[in-house]
Amino acid sequence: MVVEEYEVIVVGAGPSGLSAGIFIARQRAKCLLISKDLGGQLNLIPKLENYPGTIMSSGPLLAKTLENQYLTFNGEMVYDTVVKVDEIEGSTDLSVKTTRSEYRTKALVLAPGKVPNNLGVENEIKFQNKGVHYCTKCDAPFYQGRITATVGVGGYLLESGILLSRMASKVYLVYRGGQLGGDKDMIESLKKKSNVELVPNSSVTYVNGDNYLQEIKLKDNSGVEKAINVDGLFIEMGSKINLDFIKHLIKINTKGEIEVTEGGKTTHPAVFASGDATNIPYKQIVAACGDGAAAGISAFNYIEKLKGKPGIRSDWKKTIGDTVFHY
């Protein structure tokens, strides 16, 4: 089998991976972006209001825009899943194996993102972005004065309830145990809110509606079921990061995140990382894009230094007279 070689391979086509690809491809480096889909968690955002410079856009539209930018700079892209990354003996290069192929690269940028855990109930997928949401911070503003429910675990559930209570007219806080777990001050704050109804010892078993969510069914520990009308259901069951393909080469913290330092550097000299799969503090699109750009430039500088070249300090420069301006 012929193994195609690239200077940089980017894993993940969410906002961070696409941004990394843009900044690498702009430098005319041979770059391949590998992802199982386009957009990642952007596809969970029907309305995008907090991305600077973009008004009334959507997650999928931003993903498509970033993809077009990347391809404009002659970047390559393939839809596939990375299953293993290994060092190549006698070389500084890396072997990247996917479900369908194998590649060789001098540098790797990891931007696999996080995948929210599903609740696993009937019709859940059908109503995604049609009343069922996985990011309260992203979508709570669209439920001003409306009836909502949130189900989840620990601090994720508490934060969701607090955010919704500031906007929704009614919030049902659903949890399996008899007591809420997590920060005591947040729990006391929720108990004092007149628009929050605690629903302990219960679970969501079913979601239903016409074109949009209208109803959820709850079952308590004794088996009694009841239906309640809601406009939105927020599922905060945490998320997972798949790093099995690379965990033997880099440091991963106790939260399952990639440990990075300035510029997206990992503990492996040829591997860089950005976005929600890393230990960056703010899991926001704009932060993911910025960190992706930084990781992309770091990866490009790494391959330039392998060639004995100094690398770049910025992505764009203009010479006016005898002065070079960097931006």
Between CA 259 and CA 187 the distance in angstroms is: 31
Which amino acid would we find at residue 264? G
Choose among 83, 89, 108: nearest CA to 5.
Answer: 108
Number of helices (H), then strands (E), in the chain: 6, 19
pLDDT for the residue 324: 61
Last residue of a domain, one of 190, 206, 236: 236
Do 216 and 277 reside in the same domain of the chain?
A: no
Q: Are residues 171 and 253 in the same domain?
A: no
Q: Tell whether 277 is covered by a domain.
A: yes
**Are residues 103 and 252 part of one domain?**
yes
Residue corresponding to tokens 């839809």: 79
Q: Give the residues across from 225 on adjacent strands.
A: 219
How far is it, in rounded angstroms, from Cα 324 to Cα 206?
62
Within this chain, do residues 62 and 151 fall inside the same structural domain, yes or no?
A: no
Of 278, 302, 297, 298, the closest CA to residue 288 belongs to 278
Q: Are residues 172 and 246 in the same domain?
A: no
User: What CATH number has the domain bearing residue 227?
Assistant: 3.50.50.60
Distance of CA 90 to the CA centre of its chain: 35
Q: Do 228 and 258 lie in a common domain?
A: no
Strand partners, 75: none
On whether both 267 and 317 belong to a single domain, the answer is: yes
Report yes or no: 12 and 112 within 8 Å, Cβ to Cβ. yes
DSSP code at position 118: P
**Residue 38 shares a structural domain with residue 95:** yes
For residues 33 and 105, the answer to whether their CB atoms sit within 8 Å is no
Q: Which residue has the tokens 């430098």?
A: 27
Q: pLDDT of the chain along its 327 residues, tens only?
A: 779 999 999 999 999 999 999 999 999 999 999 999 999 888 878 788 889 988 878 989 999 999 999 999 999 999 999 999 999 999 999 999 999 999 999 999 999 998 888 999 989 999 988 999 998 988 899 999 999 999 999 999 999 999 999 999 999 999 999 999 999 999 999 999 999 999 999 999 999 999 999 999 999 999 999 999 999 999 999 888 999 999 999 999 999 999 999 999 999 999 999 999 999 988 899 999 999 999 999 999 999 999 999 888 777 666 677 776 655
The whole-angstrom separation of Cα 200 and Cα 180 is 8
Interatomic CA distance for residues 117 and 239, integer angstroms: 5
Residue 316: predicted pLDDT = 66
Q: Which domain holds residue 249?
A: 4-114+241-326
Query: Do 229 and 257 reside in the same domain of the chain?
Result: no
Q: Which residues contact 233 (CB under 8 A, 6 or more apart)?
A: 127, 131, 132, 133, 148, 149, 150, 151, 204, 207, 213, 216
Same domain, yes or no, for 229 and 247?
no
Is 8 within 8 Å of 24 (Cβ atoms)? yes
Residue 317 is predicted with a pLDDT of: 63
The SS3 of residue 227 is strand
Structural domain count of the chain: 2
pTM score > 0.85 for this model?
no
Q: Same structural domain for residues 159 and 187?
A: yes
Rounded CA separation 233/128 (Å): 10
